[in-house]
């Protein structure tokens, strides 16, 4: 199933099957797209890989998080493209045509929630479900000019979704307006356990230094000033015990180790014809032993405790979502990998901590979208969305 005309390559061309939903509800009128790692009853779950598609067959039940949205009146309009086995960040899948980034057609959409981002940015859906392990909501949202929340780890059920790295995998979704975003959030997130208002802004210069160049740095400071308009001046904080590079490698090793544990047996049975980059990342995971993973997990726990203490009084950490605009479609594999590594140094903090991070489409650089992010305390997801509403409203009135 796909919209009658999908010039954006956002959707997979599966045969249309009726999907049960409530006819009335708070999401009535919302067209919902769903990343093809989530089960939807009557549809296959391809996970971005033709052999997985052939082996998985048709799902009998819909993933609970998706079903909640359908029960609230959202109308399912199709399964969307994902990077292969959700193990990429650029939206480039060797087996399928490249999704189109309507906000910057010469640039990639980002992944692995590539089709979901393309669908919303292109006006084909009001909301789209994705997932975020290393940045698969936040990066595409920044690249395509969307709002995107990486939810608190474990807050939203991932039952009925393909795992990649379970200690890092989270539910996420896209919308291009805060009203739709908040409406979906009320359904899947419920009420926050974190009760304190978010009133203090923190900043770390080592993160801000990761933007790609002078133009990006200037635009980031402009976006940051918009956030400060709502929260007051950002308070500089000292670096964490671990350097950003050390946290990046902790993330990489933990993710790769878990991904190999999940998919290694399947990958080893026969040649799976994985695309460039994806095969390398699984190969790296094969080399990360339990001892290395344990050491990185200890580093992760210390970082999480440090960040939790910083954010506990009701603070948020502001940072660039990614280094700059989305890479160009004609970038080489080496260029894409270099961007990916730089981006992950920004994106890994929410993954390692498990804390929520929202990205807002406040900037433009080189004629393309560029987002700014806020990381909040654990289980402050709804409060972050409400803060995002304040920030976006202040930019309109200012």
β-pair type (31-35, 75-80): parallel
Which residues fall within 8 angstroms of residue 178, CB to CB, at 6 or more apart?
A: 147, 385, 388, 389, 392
Q: What's the rounded mean pLDDT across residues 2-16?
A: 86
Residues 6 or more apart whose CB falls under 8 angstroms from that of 330 comprise: none
Going along the chain from its start, the domains and CATH numbers come out as 31-189 (3.90.1300.10), 200-357+372-397 (3.90.1300.10)
Does the active-site annotation cover 112? yes
Confidence of residue 394 (pLDDT cuts 50, 70, 90): confident
pLDDT band at 4, cuts 50/70/90?
Answer: low
Whether residue 136 lies in the annotated active site: yes
Chain centroid to CA 277: 19
**Alpha-carbon torsion (280, 286, 287, 291), positive or negative:** positive
373 is catalytic: no
Q: Is there a contact between 241 and 306 (Cβ–Cβ < 8 Å)?
A: yes
* Structure confidence at residue 176 as a pLDDT band (50, 70, 90): very high
Band of the pLDDT at 396, cuts 50, 70, 90?
confident
For residue range 58-116, list pLDDT tens digits in order.
999 999 999 999 999 999 999 999 999 999 999 999 999 999 999 999 999 999 999 99
> Residue 159's pLDDT is what?
98
Q: Closest Cα partner for 371 from 381, 358, 361?
A: 361
Average pLDDT for 236-247:
98
pLDDT level of residue 52 (50, 70, 90 thresholds): very high
pTM: 0.96
- The span from the CA of 312 to the CA of 201, in Å, is 12
As a whole number, the mean pLDDT across the chain is 96
Q: Is the pLDDT of residue 1 over 80?
A: no
Indicate which residue of 79, 88, 112, 131 is catalytic.
112
pLDDT surpasses 60 at 337: yes
Provide the pLDDT for residue 398: 53
What is the per-residue pLDDT for 195? 86
More confident residue, 1 or 202: 202
Query: Has residue 5 got a pLDDT over 80?
Result: no
Question: pLDDT grade, residue 231 (50/70/90)?
Answer: very high
């Amino acid at each position: 199933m796909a919209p009658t005309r999908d010039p954006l390559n956002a959707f997979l061309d599966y045969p249309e099957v009726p999907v049960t939903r409530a006819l009335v509800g708070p999401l009535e009128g919302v067209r919902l797209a769903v990343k093809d790692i989530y089960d939807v009853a009557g549809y296959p779950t391809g996970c971005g890989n033709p052999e997985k598609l052939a082996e998985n067959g048709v799902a009998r039940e819909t993933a609970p998080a998706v079903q909640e949205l359908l029960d609230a009146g959202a109308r399912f309009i199709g399964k969307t493209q994902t990077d292969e086995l959700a193990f990429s960040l650029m939206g480039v899948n060797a087996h399928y045509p490249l999704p189109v980034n309507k906000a910057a057609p010469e640039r990639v959409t980002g992944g692995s929630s590539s089709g979901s981002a393309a669908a919303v940015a292109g006006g084909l859906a009001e909301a789209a479900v994705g997932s975020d392990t290393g940045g698969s909501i936040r990066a595409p949202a920044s690249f395509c000019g969307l709002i995107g929340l990486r939810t608190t780890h474990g807050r939203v059920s991932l039952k009925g979704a393909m795992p990649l790295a379970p200690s890092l995998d989270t539910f996420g979704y896209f919308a291009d307006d805060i009203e739709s975003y908040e409406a979906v959030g009320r359904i899947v997130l419920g009420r926050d356990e974190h009760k304190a208002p978010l009133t203090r802004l923190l900043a770390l210069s080592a993160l801000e230094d990761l933007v790609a160049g002078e133009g990006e740095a200037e635009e980031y400071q402009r976006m940051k000033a918009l956030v400060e308009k709502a929260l007051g001046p950002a308070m500089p904080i000292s670096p964490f015990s671990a350097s950003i590079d050390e946290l990046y490698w902790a993330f990489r090793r933990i993710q790769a180790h878990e991904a190999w544990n999940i998919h290694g047996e399947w990958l080893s049975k026969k040649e799976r014809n994985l695309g460039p980059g994806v095969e390398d990342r699984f190969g790296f995971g094969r080399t990360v032993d339990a001892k290395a993973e344990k050491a990185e997990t200890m580093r992760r726990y210390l970082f999480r405790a440090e960040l939790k203490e910083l954010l506990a009084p009701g603070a948020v950490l502001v940072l660039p979502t990614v280094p700059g605009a989305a890479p160009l479609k004609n970038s080489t594999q080496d260029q894409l990998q270099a961007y990916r590594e730089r981006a992950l140094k920004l994106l890994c903090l929410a993954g390692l901590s498990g804390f929520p991070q929202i990205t807002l489409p406040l900037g433009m650089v080189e004629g393309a979208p560029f987002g700014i992010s806020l990381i909040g305390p654990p289980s402050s997801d709804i409060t972050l969305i409400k803060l995002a509403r304040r920030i976006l409203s202040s930019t309109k009135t200012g």
